[in-house]
Structure 1
Amino acid sequence: MIRVSPIQGTISVIIGVVILAGILLFVRCDMLIMIVLSGSMTPLMLPGDVIIVAPTDPDQVRVGDVIVFQHPGQDDRMVITHRVTGIDADTGLYSTKGDANSAPDRFSVSKGDIIGRPIFLIPFIGFASEMKKQVILLMVILPSLMLALLETRKLTHGPHAARRLSRESPVPKGQIFSIRYSRLFFLSSVVLALFLLLTVPSLSGIQTYGSFSGSSVPQNGCITVEGRGLVPEAYLICTPGVGGVPVYGIVQPGETVSIPISGTEPECTVARLPYVLPVFWFVGLAGLNPYLPVLALAILPGAFLTLVLHPLWAEKKFVKLRRKRRLVDRVLEN
């Protein structure tokens, strides 16, 4: 059994510290929040996604990096997020292109036009800006009215309810959590098993090519990625592509995609993941380790869902403190 008040206090402190640290980091680093409006970077970024942009040193930008910049010679309000495909060594100008565009941009970007790099993405919440009236009604006005009604009811019935409660229960009560470990184990096992089954096709499809692995690159210089499972999959070739631009995409179930590679790299790994998470997250995690996205999807959502379903395995109990304080203290100590 676990006391409620320490748990709630600890959770509140942790949430408060995380929010405060995020705000301080956001303010001190001069980060910006921007909404993706076009599909030029699909599927890495979708229209309606929100990106957090951090300032960057233009001299640190390399081919293959995604940058946020102002359109050269246009209004300052026109901001573009594209990938760097080339850097002119003589002029220092950057060539850019949207991942979903068939042709590169017709202009060149100077160092002064660069605003920063996207470091994090929040999917879909940018659509709220297109529905301001509905958002204000549903998220501001209606909750405010509900809070006002609840406060009015407390003010009206509060004194009478307090006196009635003191007459009916003169002895104060404490609240504790009683965890049913059998239910917790069963629920967590079922939830984790579901996500593990979802990721098994992608996990089995991760393959490494090259001189240090068991299989070599085909003679035609192309790697074949076949869609497995019941949902589309995101894939990424974890080695620099042509000119340093990463090679990634979406493959449908049963579809086969041939991806040309240079064949000069000593090792090449194809990372895969069911397309249920943003591709931006997948590419970032796969850049650290090809297996990291699959492991994150197999474990983290299941653990979070288990915590959300805590009413199924944690029961609240009320104990009269004066009469059973010693008993509760003994149970808590054990």
Structure 2
Amino acid sequence: MIRVDRIWRVIAVLLGMVILAGLFLFFGPGMTLMIVLSGSMAPLMLPGDAIVVAPADPDRLEIGDVVVFQYPGEDERMVITHRIVGIDTDTGLYSTRGDANNAPDRFFTSKDDIIGRPVFLIPFVGFASEMKKQIILLMVILPSLMLALLETRRLARGSHSSRLLSRESPVPKGQIFSIQYPRLFLLLSVVLAIFLLLIMPSLSGIQTYSPTAGSPDLQGQHLTIEGRGLIPELYLVCTPGEQGTPAYGVVQPGETVTVPVAGTDPDFTVARAPYILPAFWFVGLAGVNPYLPVLSLAVLPGALLTLALHPLWAKEKFVKSRRKRRLVERVLEN
């Protein structure tokens, strides 16, 4: 049996932790929140996305890193997010290019123009950019944080006082839920099966290619990738030893794309996932493990949907007897 008020308290504490993490992330030292205005880095970043920019040491930047910098010779308000495609060791200047552009930028960027690197992306937040940050802080974040702190303070009270309160006011009617485990397991199995079927074409398409073994999908220095499933897919050629612009993109169902793989290791893996995750998240997760994006899509959405459908597996119980309500209260406390 579960107390409803305790569930809401736990949710409030978790929400407070998320808000505190968000405050540390967005308002920490050197952190900057910026809005993507153009599609030069699509599909990695789309117009309307918000990126969190962290300070970066220019001396540690490498070819292939995405950087945020001030446009040379222009007003400080003009900021660009592009990828480094070349470094002049003599002058220390960077050559940059947007992933969606066909040619490098016509200018060079110095170390003094580097603002930082994007470390996180929030989709579509930029569409509400007309709202001032101060309004969001005062009307949304701070009230939510205060409510979460108040709930945390209530949870931190001694057990003795809580027991005294429980004796004075026993468990009200309808405040208890019992979990129907067969329904929970059935619903969870169905939801996970749906998402598993959704990611199965991409999961079966994750393969390790060996140019020396003469893979049939490899044609010289190019790899042929065919779209599978019913929705578009993201792909990324995972080459740990390669520098430069990563080979990634979007392939439509039934479409075939040719990806250059020159300069890769002898063996490399192609990560794939349905185009549900933002490309920024997909590239980051696939860089850790090629299977991580599809496994995240298979488990996390299904678990969240199951929690949202809790009326199907959590049955409300009414304790009519005052004696039973006090007994249930003691059991729940222990």
Shared fold per TM-score greater than 0.5: yes
Does the 8 Å CA contact 2:239/2:264 hold for their aligned counterparts?
no
Residues 241 and 72 of structure 1: CA distance in aligned 2, closer, same or farther (over 3 Å): farther
Query: Post-superposition shift, 1:236?
Result: 0.4
Which residue type is aligned with residue 69 of structure 1? F
Listed as ranges, the gaps of 5+ residues in structure 2 are: 141-168
Q: Which residue of 2 aligns with 1:49?
A: 49
Q: Which residue of 1 aligns with 2:97?
A: 97
Cα distance in 2, alignment partners of residues 8 and 104 from structure 1: 53
**Does structure 1 residue 253 correspond to structure 2 residue 219?**
no
Q: Which residue of 1 aligns with 2:314?
A: 314
Does the 8 Å CA contact 2:171/2:328 hold for their aligned counterparts?
no
Q: Which residue of 1 aligns with 2:62?
A: 62
Listed as ranges, the gaps of 5+ residues in structure 1 are: 141-168
Q: Which residue of 2 aligns with 1:269?
A: 269
- Report the aligned-residue RMSD: 2.9
Residues 173 and 221 of structure 1: CA distance in aligned 2, closer, same or farther (over 3 Å): same
1:250-302 Cα offsets, whole Å, 9 max, x none, are: 11111111112126513211110111111111000000000000100111111
1:77-119 Cα offsets, whole Å, 9 max, x none, are: 0011111101110111111001111111111111111111111
Structure 1 range deviating more: 209-218 or 320-329: 209-218
SS in 2 for 1:101: coil
**Does structure 1 residue 40 correspond to structure 2 residue 40?**
yes
Cα distance in 2, alignment partners of residues 201 and 185 from structure 1: 25
Cα distance in 2, alignment partners of residues 200 and 298 from structure 1: 9
1:219-270 Cα offsets, whole Å, 9 max, x none, are: 5122110000001111000016975210101111111111121265132111
- TM-score when scaled to structure 1? 0.82
Q: Which residue of 2 aligns with 1:157?
A: none
Does the 8 Å CA contact 1:237/1:247 hold for their aligned counterparts?
yes
Query: Post-superposition shift, 1:75?
Result: 0.5
Cα distance in 2, alignment partners of residues 180 and 312 from structure 1: 9
Which residue type is aligned with residue 35 of structure 2? I
Superposition pairs of residues 91-130 of structure 1, within 5 angstroms: 91-129=91-129
Query: Post-superposition shift, 1:38?
Result: 0.5
Cα distance in 2, alignment partners of residues 240 and 171 from structure 1: 58
SS in 1 for 2:175: strand
Q: Which residue of 2 aligns with 1:194?
A: 194
Q: Which residue of 1 aligns with 2:324?
A: 324
Structure 1 range deviating more: 18-27 or 289-298: 18-27
Aligned length: 302
Cα distance in 2, alignment partners of residues 301 and 248 from structure 1: 24
1:50-84 Cα offsets, whole Å, 9 max, x none, are: 11111111111111011111101000000111111
Q: Which residue of 1 aligns with 2:223?
A: 223
Query: Post-superposition shift, 1:327?
Result: 4.1
How many percent identity over aligned positions?
A: 72
